A and B are shown apart, each in its own frame.
Chain A
């Protein structure tokens, strides 16, 4: 495609809130009929315990690398115009936004499906951690998506490009395609990220 690829990936500085408008504005285009967004916000309770705040940290260069690879994978599967992903670090008060994804496309199905793909994959493979702070202690959280993905990620060959993604993304797309509606699954595109 001669089209310029518009991806904006930001791991924000500590304690800087996400300006969601900025990212929606970034993906907006007269060529597009849809912008799909996902906004992840912090909950106030976990298993009955009151959460005071959440603290995020990341292996920033690797997280950015992983997100870039996920953007390429999304573009290989769906017809996307622009992607913006932002994640907060440091303290995020309860009820605030910790992660934001915005994707634009000509037709809504591409943006909606790619948006779900991106947040699901972010939770499964991007090295970002959160600690929940309670009145009586704190706990590092664990995404079940990552635990399920361990066997695949541990197998990834480092000398293949996009080591963050790779084969399991194809599986993820396949899974999506059997229950999704008109998800485009181009088999030939699955190698385009390697």
Chain B
């Protein structure tokens, strides 16, 4: 009934709703990462506030063979290299970038 005014309390409620929500991430595997997982992509559900590194750890726990490249790979988020500390958002596309070899 009382619409219009969105005070800070409402915002808080909204945020709490957000926090209880899980996020849907798309995870991509290329080259050696694809060989190690046997798949090109998979959906991943993570909790609100997760970082790219959290997502990676979750994927590695499912595909332990990825440990082989853990030390020499990078992550990309939405087609750009990203630090593992970046917080992910719903609908993000993450990709494991194993050592590249273009040229």
Contact = CB atoms under 8 A, between A and B. Distances in A.
Contacts of A163: 80-82
Most B CB within 10 A of own CB, among A99, A125, A146, A156: A146
A123 B102 contact: yes
A125 B75 CA distance: 12
Contacts of A56: 102
Interface residues on B, range: 20 to 34
A66 to B, nearest CB: 8
Given A142-B72, A147-B72, A62 B80 contact: yes
Contacts of A130: 101-102
Nearest to A64: B79
Interface residues of A, number: 37
B28 interface: yes
Contacts of A131: 31
A33 interface: no
A122 B102 contact: yes
Contact of A61 (B79, B98, B99): B79
Nearest to A162: B80
A154 B98 CA distance: 12
A157 B83 contact: yes
Interface string A147-187: 10010011111100001100000000000000000000000
Nearest to B86: A158
Interface in B57-81: 72, 74-81
B74 A154 contact: yes
A158 B52 CA distance: 12
B26 interface: no
A40 interface: yes
A62 B76 contact: yes
Given A57-B30, A59-B30, 6 more contacts: A123-B103, A127-B76, A127-B97, A129-B102, A146-B100, A158-B82
Interface of B: 28, 30-32, 35, 72, 74-84, 86, 95, 97-103
